Amino acid sequence: MAKFDKSVLEKYGITGTTEVLYNPSYEELFAEETKEGLTGFDKGQETELGAVNVMTGVYTGRSPKDKFIVDDENSHGTVWWTSDEYKNDNHPATKECWDAVKEIAKKELSNKKLYVVDGFCGANKDTRMKVRFIVEVAWQAHFVTNMFIRPQDEADLEQEPDFIVYNASKAKVENYKELGLNSETAVVFNVTSKEQVIINTWYGGEMKKGMFSMMNYFLPLKGIASMHCSANCDMNGENTAIFFGLSGTGKTTLSTDPKRRLIGDDEHGWDDNGVFNFEGGCYAKVINLDKESEPDIYNAIRRDALLENVTVAEDGKIDFADKSTTENTRVSYPINHINNIQPGSSAPAAKQVIFLSADAFGVLPPVSILTPEQTKYYFLSGFTAKLAGTERGITEPTPTFSACFGQAFLELHPTKYAEELVKKMEKNGAKAYLVNTGWNGTGKRISIRDTRGIIDAILGGDIDKAPTKQIPMFDFTVPTELPGVDTNILDPRDTYTDAAQWEEKAKDLAARFIKNFAKYEGNEAGKALVAAGPKL
Ligand X SMILES: Nc1ncnc2c1ncn2[C@@H]1O[C@H](COP(=O)(O)OP(=O)(O)O)[C@@H](O)[C@H]1O
Annotated binding-site ranges: 62, 203, 209, 228, 245-253, 266, 294, 330, 445-446, 451
Among the listed residues 63, 252, 256, 357, the single catalytic one is 252
* Residue 62 annotated to the active site: yes
Task: Tell me: does residue 256 bind Mn ion (CB under 5 A).
Answer: no
Task: Tell me: does residue 533 bind ligand PEP (CB under 6 A).
Answer: no
Q: How many helices (H) and strands (E) does the chain have?
A: 15, 29
Q: Is the dihedral of CA 102, 108, 112, 118 positive or negative?
A: negative
Residue placing its CB nearer to ligand PEP in the complex, 284 or 471: 284
Q: Select from 140, 196, 201, 252 the one that contacts Mn ion (CB under 5 A).
A: 252
Judged by CB under 6 A, which stretch of 130-138, 314-322, 441-449, 483-491 contacts ligand X? 441-449
* Residue 150 annotated to the active site: no
Is residue 68 within 8 Å of 189, Cβ to Cβ? yes
List binding-site positions for substrate: 62, 203, 209, 330
List binding-site positions for Mn(2+): 209, 228, 266
Return the amino acid letter for 58.
Answer: V
d(C-alpha 110, C-alpha 100), whole Å: 15
Contacts of ligand X in 282-301 (CB under 6 A): 284-285, 287
Judged by CB under 6 A, which stretch of 162-170, 246-254, 423-431, 443-451 contacts ligand PEP? 246-254
Is residue 262 within 8 Å of 335, Cβ to Cβ? yes
Residue placing its CB nearer to ligand X in the complex, 252 or 368: 252
Among the listed residues 71, 89, 257, 266, the single catalytic one is 266
* Residue 266 annotated to the active site: yes
Is residue 12 within 8 Å of 134, Cβ to Cβ? yes
- Is residue 95 helix, strand or coil? helix
Count the residues of the shown chain that bind ligand X, applying the rule CB under 6 A.
18
340: how many CB neighbours lie within 10 A of its CB? 15
Task: Tell me: does residue 283 bind ligand PEP (CB under 6 A).
Answer: yes
Output the smallest distance, CB 330 to ligand PEP, in A. 7
Task: Tell me: does residue 250 bind ligand X (CB under 6 A).
Answer: yes
Is residue 181 within 8 Å of 66, Cβ to Cβ? yes
Q: Strand 19-22 vs strand 113-121: parallel, antiparallel, or unpaired? A: parallel
206: how many CB neighbours lie within 10 A of its CB? 23
- Is residue 261 helix, strand or coil? strand
Task: Tell me: does residue 248 bind ligand PEP (CB under 6 A).
Answer: yes
CA torsion 67→71→72→78, rounded to 10°? 90
Kindly report the length of the chain: 536
d(C-alpha 301, C-alpha 289), whole Å: 11
Residue placing its CB nearer to Mn ion in the complex, 23 or 342: 342
Output the smallest distance, CB 231 to ligand X, in A. 12
209 binding partner (options ligand PEP, Mn ion, ligand X, none; Cβ < 5 to 8 Å by kind):
ligand PEP
d(C-alpha 186, C-alpha 336), whole Å: 33
* Residue 330 annotated to the active site: yes
- Is residue 174 helix, strand or coil? coil
* Residue 337 annotated to the active site: no
Judged by CB under 6 A, which stretch of 96-104, 247-255, 309-317, 524-532 contacts ligand PEP? 247-255
Q: For 477-498, b where at least 16 C-beta lie within 10 A, e where not — what string?
A: bbbeebeebeeebbbbbebbee
Binding mask of the shown chain, residues 262 to 281, with x at each position contacting Mn ion by CB under 5 A: ----x---------------
Binding mask of the shown chain, residues 379 to 398, with x at each position contacting ligand PEP by CB under 6 A: -----------x--------
Residues 6+ apart with CB under 8 A from 226: 215, 216, 219, 220, 267, 268, 269, 417, 420
List binding-site positions for ATP: 209, 228, 245-253, 294, 330, 445-446, 451
* Residue 251 annotated to the active site: yes
Would you name the residues annotated as active-site residues? 62, 209, 228, 247, 251-252, 266, 330
Positions touching ligand PEP (CB under 6 A) are: 62, 205, 209, 247-248, 251, 266, 283, 390
